Amino acid sequence: MTISKSNGFIRKYGVIFGLVGIIIFFAIESPNYFFTPSNFILISKQSSINILLALGEMFVILTAGIDLSVGAIAGLVGAVSAGTIVATGNLFLGLAAGIGVGIAFGLINGVIVAFAKVPAFIATLATMSAITGITLIYTQGEPIWNLPSSFDFIGQGNLADIPFSIILMALAFIAAWIILEKTKYGRHVYAVGGNIKASRAAGIKISAVLVSVYAISGLLSAIGGIVLASRLGTAEPTAGSGYELDAIAAVVLGGTSLFGGEGWVVGTIIGGYIIAVLNNGMTIMNISAYYQEVVKGLVILLAVMLTSFGKKYWNE
């Protein structure tokens, strides 16, 4: 969405400089391994699941909500898809079942938030817990494996030498960009997050917007969950746990305001890449796990501080 020239510059582009800075650092430290085309494809592949979830999360955060259930939905969808495929041998039935479950739980989140007026944090915290439980019941705590090789394609296959998961991520990004930047609906999402009362007064159907953003989040979580299960060739009962935090981190790193109404799709992609590049680069450099956590925390803090500092500076 357009941001005024006067105060949007750092908010919008600061995160790009951040990513470039991190890439330059690792490129200097590890020119032979890190800074190679194949490693960038690998990073894209590794970030694809988180970015799929983050794009859905972004729609929700733009309306000043939050969806804590994205990881749980991804886990359940992976299990349902895998389970259905194993039970019926039908790949497309499995994918449809998974996507259906994802959208259904997204809709449930949306209805709870829009109509029962439960704060999004509490509503999705509750559904996160419930969905995690449903996954454990469904899988009985056991991973589902022995999946047909046709299922592997989604997370492991290539299309014209490009990993299919990257193609899925790119498609989701383009769709999100078009919806948010170019459509009436996208404008409504920003407006509802910016000022719900003024949006209602402008004739926008608030509950329709709210329900739909959670459904979109459910759909993208479902796709992420399927990619995850396919990448591993296994639907783990605990797959997806903790993914909500990485998704929220990517969105916020990308400059989207947790208060709603402000954000940039490209920023979310960059936020996702920052997390993936950090993980990849530090592993390549064989940095100890203890330090990795500290570095990740500091980078997130620094990026967010830079953004808010930039905002303040330009506003004055």
Partner 1 sequence: MDILKVEEIKKSFSGVNVLKNINLSIKSGELHAIVGENGAGKSTLMKIIAGELEPDSGKIYLNGKEVQFHSPLDAINSGIALIHQEFSLVPQLTVYENIFLGREISKRFLGINFVDRKEMKKEAQAVLKTFGIENIPVDSKIKDLSVANKQLTEIAKALSTNSKILIMDEPTAALTLRETEKLFSILTNLKSNGVTIIFISHRLEEIFQIADSVSILRNGELIATKQINEVSMEEIVSMMIGKSMSNRFPPKPSKKIGDKFFEARNLSSDSFKGINFSLRKGEILGIAGLVGCGNTQVGESIYGLRKFDGEIYFEGKKINISKPTDAIEHGIFLVPEDRHDLGLVLQLSVKENHSLPNLDLFSKVGFVSTSIEKKSVKDTISYLNTKVSSINQRVDNLSGGNQQKVVLGKWLVRSPKILILDEPTRGIDVGAKFEIYKFIYEQSSKGVGIILISSELAEVLNLSDRILVMSEGRITGELDPQSATQEDILRLAVKGKES
Partner 2 sequence: MKTFLVVALMIAGIAALSMAMTIGFCVSTLNNPYFVSFTNGAKAEAQLLGINLIVMNANNSNSTQLNQVEDLIQRKVDAIILNPTDSDALVPAVIAANKAGIPVITLDRSVNGGRVAMYIASDNVEYGRLEAQYAVKLLNGSGNVVLLTGIPGASATRDRTKGIMEVLSQYPNMKIVANQTAQFDMATAMSVMESILVAHPDVNVVIAENDEMALGAIQAIKAAGKSGIIVIGGDGIPQGIQAVKNGTEAVDIAQQPYKMAALGVSAAFFVVNGISLNPTSLSMPLFPVTKDNVDQWIASGD
- Contacting partner 1 (CB under 8 A), which of 36, 182, 294, 309? 182
Instruction: Determine the Cα–Cα distance for residues 25 and 130; give it in Å rounded to an integer.
Output: 42
Query: 260 by DSSP, 3-state: which?
Result: coil
Which of partner 2, partner 1, none sits in contact with 195, Cβ below 5 to 8 A by type? partner 1
CB of 205 to partner 2, least distance (A): 39
Question: What are the backbone angles phi and psi of residue 36, rounded to the nearest 5°?
Answer: -130, 150
- Residue 117 within binding range of partner 1, rule CB under 8 A: no
Q: Name the residue nearer to partner 1 (CB basis): 140 or 197.
A: 197
Buried b (16+ CB within 10 A) or exposed e, 223-241: bbbbbbbbbbbbbbbebbb
Q: Is the dihedral of CA 192, 195, 200, 202 positive or negative?
A: negative
Q: Contact at 8 Å (CB) between 38 and 248? A: no
List contacts with partner 2 (CB under 8 A): 30, 33-34, 36, 38-39, 42, 45-46, 136, 140-143, 145-146, 156, 228, 231-234, 236-239, 241, 279-280, 283-286, 288-290
Tell me the three state secondary structure of residue 241.
coil
CB of 136 to partner 2, least distance (A): 7
Of the pair 37, 203, the CB lying nearest partner 2 is at 37
Residue 286 interacts, among partner 1, partner 2, none and using kind-specific CB cut-offs from 5 to 8 Å, with: partner 2
* Smallest separation, CB 258 to partner 2 (Å): 27
Phi, psi dihedrals of residue 133, rounded to the nearest 5°: -65, -45
Q: How far apart are CA 18 and CA 21, in angstroms?
A: 5
CA torsion sign for 74, 75, 79, 80 is negative
Judging by beta carbons within 10 Å of its beta carbon (0-12, 13-18, 19+), is residue 143 exposed, middle or buried? middle
Q: Please tell me the distance from the alpha carbon of residue 154 to that of residue 82, in angstroms, as a whole number.
A: 12
The smaller minimum CB distance to partner 1, of residues 117 and 184, is found at 184
Residue 162 DSSP one-character state: E
197 CB neighbour count, 10 Å cutoff: 8
With binding defined as CB under 8 A, does residue 169 bind partner 1? Answer: no
Residues 220-259, mask of contacts with partner 1 (x by CB under 8 A): -------------------------------------x--
Nearer residue to partner 1 within complex by CB, 37 or 203: 203
User: Is position 40 an interface residue for partner 1 (rule: CB under 8 A)?
Assistant: no
Query: Is residue 1 within 8 Å of residue 58, measured between CB atoms?
Result: no
> Looking at 11, 12, 45, 188, which residue binds partner 1 (CB under 8 A)?
188
Taking the least distance from each CB to partner 1, the nearer of 4 and 32 is: 4
Minimum distance from CB of 57 to partner 2 (Å)? 18
Of these, 57, 67, 246, 262, which contacts partner 1 (CB under 8 A)?
262
Question: CB 62 → partner 2: shortest distance, Å?
Answer: 28
- Nearest distance, CB of residue 32 and partner 1, angstroms: 45
Nearer residue to partner 1 within complex by CB, 21 or 182:
182
- 314's enclosing H/E stretch is helix 289-315
Q: Which residues bind partner 1 (CB under 8 A)?
A: 1-7, 182-185, 187-188, 190-191, 194-195, 197-205, 257, 261-262, 314-316
